[in-house]
Amino acid sequence: MIRSFGHISRIIRLVLLLGLLTTPATLLARDGPRIEVIESSNAFSSPSALIEVLNEQGQPVSDLRPEHFTILQNGQPVAPDRVVIAEEQTGSRGPVLGIVLDASQLLGAAEVEAARQAAIGLLESGTGINPDDPQLVSLFLPTGDGTQVSQITEFADFTHDHNAVINYLNTQLTLQPRATRLYAAVSEAVDAVAEQANEQGTTGSLVVLSDGRDDLSRESYESVLSLARDQSITIHTYRFGFDPEDGDGAARLIELSQATDGMTLVRPTVDEASASYRENVQVPSSSAYRVQFASDVPADEQTHRWQILAVVDGVEASSQQLLFQAIVNAMTLRPLGEVLQDYFLRAGLAALVVSGLITLGLALWQRRGREDSRRLRSGSLSHAATVKRGGQRS
């Protein structure tokens, strides 16, 4: 019984420890804007760091001015005249794109074909927005089955290969024989695009090609609209089909695009869809900030801490605690560059191989030496025995 109680007590302590690791403060730290340290230098007396400032959606924030930043040294603000902050452009990332194509036969075969051509025009134009890093793309086809996932499986992880999506639209797109759950598919696409955009640190857009009608989904277009706003996803709507201008479907598509800063087009041609998307989709620039300050602490050979704060949309973000030692001419350890990393990796592997070969060679040499010794001893004993027998005969 005592052993059992002691075991339970240890489990309770472990659970409490895990609970401390996920306190509300820890969970809250993941929300809101944040600062990520890309690299840092602990050189005394001018510590520095290269940082990236991210907003609530995980997207890089650019154009911050020095007055948006505060440097803390040992918990106390550093005077602005001892701080230098410079913005550095680190490249650009293509936006994440989700295409929701409603292929319901209720739209009519000719309208679905026109929507397919417009989607292909989008994909072809997308590869030119940022040639070095075209958008990640995925395709969503609404179905009439509420349990069926609308995202095409082979593009579930999104893809840079726009031609693969175009090929799918050319060879595998089929008419849905019934009404479709359009807003269930749009809701699924908003979540998927937002997740991928956050991972990539870029923006997300959704293009919906449909007549806007949906009497099957449990998700209302109001809930989809709220979700898109919360996830900061821009929805562009291209209306096809025969729903009248003042119909519910048309009104819903217009509201979806207007409320998310998107655009609305009615039966766009391939060229119109391509040109309109090029004009409205912007590639966000990825910015980083080089932060450096002049420390006024004495060379006391002690470890001191410093931290970077930034205000983003009225909310304060903070970096992790950084350290430096107040030692004159202290050695500064820097991360190895890619060339040196590759060199030491190859050198390490080569050293292991050479060491293994040397060890194997020594083992074989020692084994051969032992065999030679045994043969010598065996020959000596045999010779001695022969001599002894000869002496006995004489």
pLDDT in tens, 298-311: 999 899 999 999 99
**Least confident among 196-200, 201-205, 314-318, 365-369:** 365-369
- The residues near 52 (Cβ < 8 Å, ≥ 6 apart) are 35, 36, 38, 60, 90, 286, 287, 288, 289
pLDDT at site 202: 83
Query: At 309, which helix (H) or strand (E)?
Result: strand 303-312
Residue type at 158? F
Residue 92's pLDDT band, with cuts at 50, 70 and 90, is: low
Residue 88: phi and psi, rounded to 5, are: -125, 130
Q: How much is the mean pLDDT over the chain?
A: 81
> Cα 130–156–190 angle (5° rounding)?
75
Q: Can you tell me the mean pLDDT for 106-112?
A: 92
Of 29 and 319, more confident: 319
Please report, as a single letter, which amino acid is at residue 76: Q
- Alpha carbon separation from 167 to 116, 170, 273, 346 (Å, rounded): 11, 5, 19, 42
With a cut of 80, say whether residue 152 has pLDDT above it.
yes
**Is pLDDT larger for residue 37 or for residue 361?**
37
Fill in the amino acid letter for 77.
Answer: P
Return the pLDDT at 93: 67
pLDDT at position 133 is 63
Homologous superfamily of the 33-92+285-327 domain (CATH): Immunoglobulins (2.60.40.10)
| Length of the chain (residues) | 394
Q: Which of 41-45, 156-160, 272-276 has maximum average pLDDT?
A: 156-160
Confidence of residue 25 (pLDDT cuts 50, 70, 90): very low
Judge if pTM exceeds 0.85. no
Give the per-residue pLDDT at 101.
97
111 pLDDT above the threshold of 70 = yes
Q: What is the pLDDT of residue 20?
A: 40
Distance between terminal CA atoms of the chain?
88
Q: Is pLDDT of 15 > 60?
A: no
Q: For residues 2 and 8, what is the distance between their CA atoms, to the nearest angstrom?
A: 10
Q: Please give the single-letter amino acid code of residue 207.
A: V
Q: How many Cβ atoms from other residues are within 10 Å of residue 210's Cβ?
A: 30
**What is the token pair recorded at 111?**
């309208």
Which of the two residues, 136 and 370, has the higher pLDDT score?
136
DSSP-assigned letter for residue 225: H
Two structure tokens written together for 343: 């060199």
pLDDT recorded at residue 2:
43
Span 336-344, average pLDDT: 55
How would residue 56 be classed by pLDDT, with cut points 50, 70 and 90? Answer: confident
Amino acid letter for position 290: R
Residue 24 pLDDT greater than 60, yes or no: no
pLDDT of 116 higher than 80: yes
Report the percent of the chain where pLDDT is more than 70.
75
Q: How many CB atoms lie within 10 A of CB 208?
A: 30
The whole-angstrom separation of Cα 221 and Cα 67 is: 42
Q: Where are the domains of the chain?
A: 33-92+285-327, 96-280
Kindly state the average pLDDT of the residues 73-100: 87
Q: Which CATH superfamily is domain 96-280 in?
A: von Willebrand factor, type A domain (3.40.50.410)
Specify the pLDDT at position 22.
40
**Banded model confidence at residue 287, pLDDT cuts 50, 70, 90:** confident
Comparing 328 with 175, the larger pLDDT belongs to 175
pLDDT for residue 279: 78
Q: Which residues are CB-neighbours of 144 under 8 A, at least 6 positions away?
A: 104, 176, 177, 178, 179, 180, 181, 216
Q: Check pLDDT > 50 for residue 45.
A: yes
Task: Report, as an integer, the average pLDDT of 42-68.
Answer: 88
Residue 91 is predicted with a pLDDT of 62
In one-letter notation, the amino acid at residue 276 is S
